[in-house]
Chain A
């Protein structure tokens, strides 16, 4: 069973969203199909990023929807429906991630910046070319590169980076989902960003080489 985010009253719903929630709560089969087709693609993208496996991501999305269907009767509009579903699929994906065996991974220490004894950089950092503006093709290629490099991070670091910097969760929420203190989540995120910077460095230097 996937843990549910709170569904408490608060934010006003748009008429369109209010209408589909009412239909879902009334058990309208067509509304469930609309919801799955409308929200499913974004949820699948989230699950794929976290799980790096199409099969696991499909299972997580299915679990998330089943969990959401069970809880829809209690949904009172405290959050947008899409935000509520996003949290549910993140939860479902993290549960699958915890339960599966880990692949051998590079140590985060190998990806962190290196310093000499007095604390100065061992290798002098090189200038990067600005990532903006990019045309559509460059944007796609760069996005695919960044995605591949994020996937090289050790799981704990990849996960925190995805939750905070890509999925847009705040530190408190991320810490709760990962079962760590907010300070530990912050430190882990910082290391993840440093490691991603290390992985990006040769690519961005090449782009900026003159």
Chain B
């Protein structure tokens, strides 16, 4: 396995979806390749950083939009 192939497997590896044989090959590559370990960690952190967006505060609905929605229901 080379670094390009290792990168292709990141999604399935972190999702626990790699078949056992491929996982062994993948982890074998990581043992020999510090750059891919660094890349894997940054990919993992990318997912963690993405989760921050789920905490975005929700602003109240503009009153004009509330009125428009309720008026559309009534009509």
Contact = CB atoms under 8 A, between A and B. Distances in A.
Interface of A: 29, 32-33, 36-37, 40-42, 44-45, 49, 58, 61-62, 65-66, 69, 113, 115, 118-121, 124-128, 130-132, 139, 142-143, 146-147, 150, 161, 165-166, 168, 186, 189-190, 193-194, 196-197, 200-201, 204
Counting chain A CB atoms within 10 Å of each CB, the highest count among B2, B36, B61 belongs to B61
Q: 4 smallest A-B Cβ distances: which pairs?
A: A119-B2, A41-B58, A40-B61, A190-B11
A159 B33 CA distance: 33
Counting chain B CB atoms within 10 Å of each CB, the highest count among A29, A115, A128 belongs to A128
A182 B38 CA distance: 29
Q: Is the interface of B mostly helix, strand, loop or mixed?
A: helix
Contact of B50 (A125, A126, A146): A146
A84 B52 CA distance: 23
Given A33-B70, A201-B42, A147 B56 contact: yes
Nearest to A171: B15
Nearest to A123: B35
A144 B48 CA distance: 14
Interface in B1-36: 2-5, 7-8, 10-11, 35-36
A165 B48 contact: no
B7 A194 contact: yes
9 contacts: A29-B70, A36-B69, A41-B60, A45-B58, A49-B56, A66-B69, A128-B45, A143-B53, A197-B46
Contacts of B46: 193, 196-197, 200
Given A119-B4, A121-B36, 18 more contacts: A62-B72, A120-B35, A124-B35, A125-B36, A125-B38, A127-B42, A130-B45, A131-B48, A139-B55, A143-B53, A146-B53, A150-B53, A166-B50, A168-B54, A186-B11, A190-B10, A193-B47, A196-B46
B65 A58 contact: yes
A45 B56 contact: yes
Contacts of A128: 41-42, 45
A196 B46 CA distance: 7
B69 to A, nearest CB: 5
A196 B66 CA distance: 35
A119 B60 CA distance: 50
A36 B45 contact: no
Contacts of B60: 37, 41
Given A131-B48, A190-B11, A44 B38 contact: no
